[in-house]
Amino acid sequence: QNEQAVITIQADQPRQTISKHIYGHFAEHLGRCIYDGFWVDPAMNVNKDGRIRMDIVDALRDINIPNLRWPGGCYADEYQWRDGIGDPAKRPVTLNSHWGGVTEDNSFGTDEFMKLCNLLGCEPYLSANMGTSTPKDLRDWIEYLNFDGKTHLTQLREQNGHKEPYGVSFFGIGNESWGCGGNMTPEHYSEQYRIFQEYARNYSNHPIKKIASGPNSTDYNWMEVCLKKIPQYALWGISLHYYTIATGNWGQKGSSTDFDEKEYFGGVKNALYMDTLLKNYAAMMNKYDPAKKIALVVDEWGIWTEVEPGTNPGFLYQQNTMRDALIAASTLNIFNNHSDRVRMANLAQAINVLQALILTDKEKILLTPTYHIFKMYKVHQEANLLESSVSVNDYKYGTESIPGVNVSASKGEDGKIHVSVVNLNPNKAVPASVILNGYNAKQIKGELLTSASYTDYNSFDEPDKIVTKEYKGFKKENDGKITMKLPPLSIVTLEIQ
| Residue in 175, 406, 423, 458 binding ligand AHR, rule: CB under 6 A | 175
Q: Does 28 bind ligand AHR (CB under 6 A)?
A: yes
Kindly tell me which residue out of 176, 263, 447, 456 binds ligand AHR, with binding defined by CB under 6 A. 176
| Alpha carbon distance 112, 200 (integer Å) | 22
Looking at 66, 72, 182, 186, which residue binds ligand AHR (CB under 6 A)?
A: 72
From the list 390, 392, 426, 425, the residue with the least C-alpha distance to 408 is 390
Which burial class, exposed, middle or buried, applies to 61 when counting CB atoms under 10 A from its CB (0-12, 13-18, 19+)? Answer: middle
CB of 300 to ligand AHR, least distance (A): 5
* 369-377 vs 322-337: helix crossing angle, rounded to 10: 30
Q: How far is the CB of 413 from ligand AHR (least distance, A)?
A: 34
Sign of the alpha-carbon torsion through 333, 337, 341, 344: positive
Number of Cα atoms under 13 Å in the Cβ half of residue 484: 26
Answer yes or no: 300 catalytic. yes
Instruction: Give me the catalytic one of 78, 104, 176, 447.
Output: 176
Per CB under 6 A, which region of 72-80, 142-150, 333-341, 381-389 contacts ligand AHR?
Answer: 72-80
The answer to whether residue 477 is catalytic is: no
Q: Is 126 in the site for ligand AHR (CB under 6 A)?
A: no
Based on the shown chain and the rule CB under 6 A, indicate whether residue 300 belongs to the binding site for ligand AHR.
Answer: yes
- Residue number, 354 or 432, with CB nearest to ligand AHR: 354
CB 322 within 8 A of CB 369: yes
Residue 348 sits in the site that holds ligand AHR (CB under 6 A)? yes
Q: Shortest Cβ contact with ligand AHR: which residue? A: 73
> For residue 58, what are the CA distances in angstroms to 32, 53, 162, 469?
19, 9, 23, 21
* Residue 78 binds ligand AHR, judged by CB under 6 A: no
129 lies in the site for ligand AHR, by CB under 6 A = no
How far is Cα 455 from Cα 319, in angstroms, rounded to an integer? 10
Q: Does residue 31 bind ligand AHR (CB under 6 A)?
A: no
**Is residue 1 packed enough to be buried (19+ CB in 10 Å), middle (13-18) or exposed (0-12)?**
exposed
Closer by beta carbon to ligand AHR, 79 or else 395: 79
- Beta-carbon neighbour count of residue 151 at 10 Å? 13
Active-site pick, 28, 78, 300, 382: 300
Across-strand partners of 153? Answer: none
Catalytic residue numbers, as ranges: 176, 300
List of residues contacting ligand AHR (CB under 6 A): 28, 72-74, 175-176, 300, 348-349, 354
